[in-house]
């Protein structure tokens, strides 16, 4: 699949993100954005490295790991083409989250083949890996949980992924989804109720 854009995008998962203090990072990111808006591909490549993990992770949770890399590539190609239009009214991460959600949902809507979207990356890693005799049960449980999440209406699923797994606040989730905070809180409430009922029906919750 051909993809246009800066060469930095093709190395999406090869370089570590930049590190440093929060204030210093904010200053550096503003400078990188300004340089990228002037066409500096190296600066844009650094922005890719800073944000590639969260973009890929969010895409994986919405479309599954098999298609997440393609979606992440599309996000950064689109971001490169539109970076000059970024005005800083929201954080760059919010802008990229919104782009990731939109492209992920477009991908799901246009897909005509059956795709297993149940395997996702969890919110973190445990201190110890599952014991061999519980690994299968843990995998089956995770598959059931994601099957239930996948069955939610599109906006409820998106809200849950951003709020629960990406750990965005309701206000931040609202910014990404282009909704009011109250609307997102309502989506989250309905999603939690639907999830609880589904978990109970499958014997996964008391």
pLDDT in tens, 13-67: 444 444 445 555 666 899 999 999 999 999 999 999 999 999 999 999 998 888 9
Same domain, 103 and 157: no
Q: Which domain holds residue 163?
A: 134-206
pLDDT given for residue 115 in this prediction: 46
Same domain, 49 and 79: yes
* 94 assigned to some structural domain: yes
* 122 assigned to some structural domain: no
* 95 assigned to some structural domain: yes
* 27 assigned to some structural domain: yes
CATH number at residue 96: 1.10.1740.10
DSSP of 16-77? PPP---HHHHHHHHHHHHHHHHTT-HHHHHHHHHHHHHHHHHHHHHHH-HHHHHHHHHHHHH
pLDDT in tens, 182-197: 999 999 999 999 999 9
Residue 73 pLDDT greater than 90, yes or no: yes
Q: Tell me how many domains the chain contains.
A: 2
* 166 assigned to some structural domain: yes
* Total-model pTM: 0.73
Same domain, 111 and 150: no
């Amino acid at each position: 699949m051909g993809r246009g854009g800066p060469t930095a995008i093709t190395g999406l998962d090869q370089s570590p993100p930049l590190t440093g203090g929060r204030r210093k990072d904010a200053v550096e990111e503003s400078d990188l954005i300004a340089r990228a808006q002037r066409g500096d591909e190296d600066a844009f490549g650094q922005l890719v490295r800073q944000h590639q993990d969260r973009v890929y992770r969010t895409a994986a949770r919405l479309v599954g790991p098999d298609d997440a890399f393609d979606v992440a590539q599309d996000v950064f190609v689109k971001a490169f083409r539109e970076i000059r239009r970024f005005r800083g009214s929201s954080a760059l991460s919010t802008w990229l989250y919104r782009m990731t959600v939109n492209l992920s949902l477009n991908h799901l809507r246009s897909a005509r083949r059956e795709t297993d979207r149940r395997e996702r990356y969890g919110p973190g890693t445990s201190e110890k890996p599952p014991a061999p005799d519980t690994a299968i049960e843990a995998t089956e449980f995770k598959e059931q949980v994601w099957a239930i999440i996948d069955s939610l209406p599109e906006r409820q699923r998106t809200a849950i992924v951003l709020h629960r797994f990406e750990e965005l606040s309701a206000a931040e989730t609202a910014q990404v989804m282009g909704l009011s905070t109250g609307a997102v809180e309502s989506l989250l409430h309905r999603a939690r109720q639907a999830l609880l009922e589904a978990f109970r029906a499958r014997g996964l919750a008391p």
